[in-house]
């Protein structure tokens, strides 16, 4: 069997173990090179995925893993996010004696996310989830001397374990009904039987699966871990969680909820309509009152999860493509925003090594003069998150909202128009708390002198800025990529 299309997963796994081995052999001062080695591996994977497997479908290991346009798009998302995080981590964890463990865990978490993207079987899906989750649990608490980081890791671990249990129970119900864990076989069963007398069991399975995936996606009411975890984790790890780990939940939901449970489509439509409205509204309203920028970004991320969840409401090719586009844009915007917060933390600690709450809104006063590149990048990310053109956030929301509006023109589904109006109003509401930070950065006087922004942070932010604006200015290839990915689902 030809395993060349799985080369990215194999490369990153081998590289993770090589980094662990090198960490045992080199001095603590030489460990800074491990970040550059990790970045080189991720760049190689990005180039390989972009040049291979964007069309067609290849299966491995008795059809438990597939390489198709959907898996490849999300692999690109995970690789890009991990690359941005690794570049920023070169500065964030500079001279840290545990860099080998950090980069190895980050690479293994990326491999887990990529396995989830390719999973065509419930067992491989669960294994991928656990590989990514176990790694990120440790990463969230990587600052062992910081009580907030340890608290974040503990909360993330407890809630993550609960979500895994709920998801696994839902999978066991599906297996009990169908006698298979293979997703195509499950689809065939549902198409043939239409669930008939077992419909109640199918709905129960859906409830547990939605709950399990809901925790991973951080949609209300399964969001409670996200604000504390994002706030307490190291800023670069928060970027990985918000921009990468969350998308893992969405690609799994695309695979399972759209494909395997297509026979109870109506129940999923109403369920996700309610969840999406609650999620975007709650996230935006609570974000308004936050002074911690990391918590604000956490609630903003919850609201963005509500927007992406709209793809499940109509489940057309265009709506799923819009959800994928928005997931790609959100990954770039959110990763870049958390890196910018890391720069502010670096700036505050330079002024006062004993400073606490470095992400407080007050520390962003005059940022345009103290750290102009960081302020400009954050300005772009906030506009994009609010859906202002030309940006990836605008393109994703436009395609997604337009697809729902088209479905709302049918009398039977005219209620979808209300969903679209609520989503647009929520996007408008989000402008308030983004504009407040922009005001602090460019209107209020600075609290100190201009700083020299570390090169790794600048490179990471500019990569995210280029991607965010690039998608907005030239969306056609990305829209086509998303449509090809949605076509795989047969919607």
Q: Which of 140-154, 185-199, 415-429 has the lowest mean pLDDT?
A: 185-199
Average pLDDT over residues 382-389: 91
Burial class (CB in 10 A: 0-12, 13-18, 19+), 151: middle
pLDDT at 1 over 70: no
Strands (E), 316-373: none
What pLDDT sits at residue 262? 60
pLDDT at 203 over 80: no
For residues 251 and 333, what is the distance between their CA atoms, to the nearest angstrom?
A: 18
pLDDT at 489 over 70: yes
| Sign of the CA dihedral with 417 first, then 423, 429, and 435 last | negative
pLDDT at 231 over 80: yes
For residues 241 and 23, what is the distance between their CA atoms, to the nearest angstrom?
A: 25
Report which listed range, 9-23, 180-194, 208-222, 342-356, is most confident: 9-23
| Cα Rg of the chain, angstroms | 21
Q: Which of 138-152, 352-366, 437-451 has the lowest mean pLDDT?
A: 352-366
pLDDT at 416 over 90: no
What pLDDT sits at residue 112? 94
Q: Residue 321 — very low, low, confident or very high, per pLDDT cuts 50/70/90?
A: very high
What pLDDT sits at residue 94? 87
Q: List Cα–Cα distances, 181 to 112, 170, 206, 399, 489, in angstroms.
A: 19, 12, 15, 33, 17
Q: List Cα–Cα distances, 254 to 81, 277, 324, 383, 455, in angstroms.
A: 20, 19, 10, 28, 38
Average pLDDT over residues 41-55: 85
Q: Residue 315 — very low, low, confident or very high, per pLDDT cuts 50/70/90?
A: confident
Question: Which is more confidently placed, 332 or 246?
Answer: 332
pLDDT in tens, 28-47: 788 889 999 999 999 999 99
Q: Residue 212 — very low, low, confident or very high, per pLDDT cuts 50/70/90?
A: confident
For residues 330 and 396, what is the distance between their CA atoms, to the nearest angstrom?
A: 9
What pLDDT sits at residue 438? 94
Beta carbons of 358 and 238 less than 8 angstroms apart: no
Average pLDDT over residues 199-213: 80
Question: Which is more confidently placed, 2 or 239?
Answer: 239
How many Å separate Cα 44 from the centre of its chain?
A: 21
Question: Which is more confidently placed, 351 or 234?
Answer: 234
What pLDDT sits at residue 264? 59
The full 3-state SS of 260-286, as one line of letters, equals HCHHHHHHHHHHHHHHHHHHHHHHHHH
pLDDT at 55 over 80: no
What is the model's pTM? 0.94
What pLDDT sits at residue 196? 45
| Sign of the CA dihedral with 221 first, then 153, 227, and 103 last | negative
Residue indicated by tokens 């500079």: 94
pLDDT in tens, 256-282: 877 655 655 556 778 888 989 999 999
What pLDDT sits at residue 424? 93
pLDDT at 436 over 80: yes
Q: Residue 317 — very low, low, confident or very high, per pLDDT cuts 50/70/90?
A: confident
Q: What percent of the chain has pLDDT over 90?
A: 45
Average pLDDT over residues 169-185: 87
């Amino acid at each position: 069997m030809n395993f060349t299309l799985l080369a990215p997963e194999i490369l990153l796994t081998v590289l993770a173990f090589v980094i662990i081995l090198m960490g045992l052999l080199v001095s603590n001062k030489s460990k800074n090179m491990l970040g550059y080695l990790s970045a080189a591996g991720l760049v190689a994977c990005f180039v390989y995925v972009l040049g291979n497997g964007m069309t067609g479908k290849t299966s491995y290991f008795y059809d438990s893993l597939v390489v198709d346009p959907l898996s490849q798009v999300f692999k690109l998302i995970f690789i890009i996010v991990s690359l941005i995080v690794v570049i920023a981590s070169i500065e964030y964890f500079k001279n840290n004696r545990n860099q080998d463990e950090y980069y190895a865990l980050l690479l293994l978490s990326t491999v887990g996310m990529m396995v989830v993207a390719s999973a065509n079987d419930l067992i491989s899906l669960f294994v991928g989830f656990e590989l990514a989750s176990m790694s990120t649990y440790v990463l969230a608490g990587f600052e062992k001397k910081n009580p907030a980081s340890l608290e974040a890791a503990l909360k993330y671990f407890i809630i993550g374990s609960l979500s895994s249990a709920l998801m696994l129970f839902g999978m066991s119900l599906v297996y009990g009904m169908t006698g298979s864990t293979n997703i195509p076989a499950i689809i065939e069963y549902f198409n043939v039987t239409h669930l008939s007398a077992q419909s109640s069991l199918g709905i129960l399975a859906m409830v547990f699966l939605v709950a399990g995936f809901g925790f991973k996606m951080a949609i209300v009411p399964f969001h409670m871990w996200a604000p504390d975890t994002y706030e307490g984790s190291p800023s670069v790890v928060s970027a990985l969680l918000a921009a990468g780990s969350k998308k893992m939940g969405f690609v799994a939901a695309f695979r399972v909820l759209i494909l395997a449970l297509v026979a109870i489509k109506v129940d999923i439509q109403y369920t996700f309509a309610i969840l999406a409205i609650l999620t975007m509204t709650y996230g935006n309203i609570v974000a308004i009152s936050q002074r911690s920028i990391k918590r604000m970004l956490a609630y903003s991320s919850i609201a963005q999860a509500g927007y992406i969840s709209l793809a499940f409401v109509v489940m057309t090719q265009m709506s799923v493509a819009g959800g994928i586009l928005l997931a790609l844009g959100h990954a770039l915007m959110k990763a870049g925003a958390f890196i910018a917060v890391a720069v502010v933390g670096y700036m505050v600690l330079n002024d006062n090594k004993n400073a606490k709450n470095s992400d407080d809104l007050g520390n962003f006063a005059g940022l345009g003069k103290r750290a102009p590149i960081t302020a400009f990048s954050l300005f772009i990310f906030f506009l994009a998150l609010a859906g202002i053109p030309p940006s990836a956030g605008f393109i994703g929301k436009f395609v997604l909202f337009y697809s729902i509006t088209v479905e709302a023109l049918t009398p039977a589904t005219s209620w979808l128009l209300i969903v679209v109006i609520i989503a647009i109003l929520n996007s408008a509401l989000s402008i308030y708390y983004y504009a407040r930070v922009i005001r602090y950065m460019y209107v209020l006087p600075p609290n100190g002198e201009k700083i020299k922004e570390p090169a790794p942070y600048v490179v990471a932010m500019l990569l995210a800025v280029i991607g965010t604006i690039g998608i907005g200015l030239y969306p056609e290839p990305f829209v086509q990529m998303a449509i090809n990915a949605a076509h795989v689902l047969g919607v």
